[in-house]
Every structure is written in C-alpha cells, then in structure tokens.
C-alpha cells in the first residue's frame, strides 16, 4: 500500500468514528414523566397526589395524580430528581442517573414505580407503546 492509500483509509476511519460519536451524543429522546397508578411485575404502585420531577438541568415539573409531562433530552445518560411529601409530611428527595437505550425514541418514566424501586430501572423505565383505536 502506498502512503496516500494509508492516509485516505485513516481519514475515513477518523470520519466514521467521529460520525458515530456525534450520533451517540446528539441523539434526542423524549422522556414521558408519568404519575399514574401502574402495575409492574404483578405489583401495583399508586399515583402520588403531587410530585416534582427534574431532568438534568431543565426546569422542574410538578405532576399531580394521573398527570403526564414530557422532557426532551439529548444523549443517553441523564440525572432525574424526584421530590415528594410522604404520609408523615416528610419531604423526600430521590436522585438517580438513568441511561436511555439508544434505539428508543421515547420512554415512560413511572414516578410511583421509581419511588418504590429507585435502584432497579426495569421497574420505572418502560418503552412507550402507542395504541390504535379501531372502528
């Protein structure tokens, strides 16, 4: 191989690696912040009366029972902070890092499931599934 061919191949590899990195870093996702009663793995988790959710450095969002909001984020790793008041009027704050699967455009973040199982993201991160209404 000539020197010219080696330089061209090297340049192509660098461009491909850069394109892959930009795709991973710049991919946009939607996180649906959901405060609805949900059943996960046979366990029912009740919606909270009021909860505050903050994703990364975005403004916090207040949710009430049966409420849903969306946070549009870029990249795969994000920090979510949930603040709520328990039955004894203690303010509780939970914060975790989550990782969104690359192939998912939109995911549902279940606040009640997160509060009950903050260390297991299989409980509170769910793929968003659309339902169609037939005639």
- Give the distance from CA 91 to its chain's centroid: 23
- Please state the domain count of the chain: 1
CB atoms closer than 10 angstroms to residue 23 = 10
Would you say residue 46 lies in a domain?
yes
Would you say residue 96 lies in a domain?
yes
Q: Which of 111, 107, 112 is nearest to 129 (CA)?
A: 107
- Cβ atoms of 79 and 96 within 8 Å: the answer is yes
CATH number at residue 37: 2.60.40
Query: pLDDT (tens digit, 9 = 90+) per residue, 29-85?
Result: 899 999 999 998 888 999 999 999 999 999 999 999 999 999 999 888 899 999 999
Would you say residue 73 lies in a domain?
yes
Would you say residue 22 lies in a domain?
no
Host domain of residue 63: 28-127
Would you say residue 12 lies in a domain?
no
Query: pLDDT (tens digit, 9 = 90+) per residue, 84-129?
Result: 998 889 999 999 999 988 788 899 999 999 998 888 888 899 888 7
Would you say residue 62 lies in a domain?
yes
pTM: 0.78
Would you say residue 6 lies in a domain?
no
Would you say residue 48 lies in a domain?
yes
């Amino acid at each position: 191989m000539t020197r010219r061919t080696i330089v061209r191949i090297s340049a192509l590899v660098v461009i491909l690696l850069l394109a892959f990195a930009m795709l991973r870093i710049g991919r946009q996702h939607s996180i649906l912040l959901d405060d609805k009663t949900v059943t996960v793995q046979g366990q029912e988790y009740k919606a909270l009366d009021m909860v505050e959710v903050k994703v990364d450095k975005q403004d916090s969002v207040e949710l009430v029972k049966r409420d849903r909001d969306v946070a549009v984020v870029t990249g795969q790793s994000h920090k979510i902070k949930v603040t709520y008041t328990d039955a004894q009027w203690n303010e509780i704050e939970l914060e975790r890092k989550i990782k969104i699967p690359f192939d998912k455009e939109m995911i549902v973040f279940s606040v009640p499931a997160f509060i009950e199982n903050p260390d297991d993201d299989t409980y509170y991160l769910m793929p968003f599934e659309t339902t169609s209404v037939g005639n």
